[in-house]
Amino acid sequence: MTTVILGKSSGAAATSAGRREQRHRTDRNFDVSTIFKAVIEHVTHTTSKATVRTHTFLVDRAVAKGGLDLGPAGGEYMPVSLGGCFTSHLLAAIRAREAKVTNVRVAVTGTLDGAPERFTAFTMDVSAECQDPELVRKLITIAGRACQVLNTLRHVVPIAITYEGSPVELTEAAAAR
């Protein structure tokens, strides 16, 4: 069994698979550490089972790579992680502002290159239905600034975000806050 702890830490410890633990100082300035835990266990051949909190999913290699293709490969979860985190923050921003935005869709592409092979770029193409495209752009900016995965990855790899085919820069004013 392999245990992988994902997240930042400064003294807090994960107490069970996937449980988030936070520690606060007692003064007005507080230090928050959040730890995410994933447990990966071998199932068969090249297939592993990952557990995060109470959720389980399979990780496997494609048939062409000698696997059984019973789940996405580990690297394929990277775009899922980026898109899932970003979309969660986007939906929260929409909900918090009671914005009339529907049919949100985020298509994430990751480019592998180099030796050793690694992700060298990501694109996130956002589409949604809304009468006010500038509002959606502001909400995308807010979500991008809040997304922990995006904030981690953008320091090591370029991440391009578009809305309906037009680039969105995270430095754009976020007046919708």
**Helix or strand run (H / E) with residue 39:** strand 35-44
pLDDT digits (tens, 9 = 90+) for 12-70: 333 444 444 444 334 455 567 889 999 999 999 999 999 999 999 999 999 999 999 99
Query: What's the mean per-residue pLDDT of the chain?
Result: 85
Considering only the top CATH level, what class is 76-168? alpha beta
Give the pLDDT band of residue 171 (cuts 50, 70, 90): confident
Report the share of the chain in percent with pLDDT over 90: 76
Query: What pLDDT does residue 5 have?
Result: 41
Residues whose CB falls within 8 Å of the CB of residue 49, separated by 6 or more in sequence, listed in order? 40, 41, 43, 56, 57, 58, 59
Domain residue ranges in the chain: 2-71, 76-168
pLDDT of residue 172 exceeding 70, the answer is no
Query: What pLDDT does residue 100 have?
Result: 98
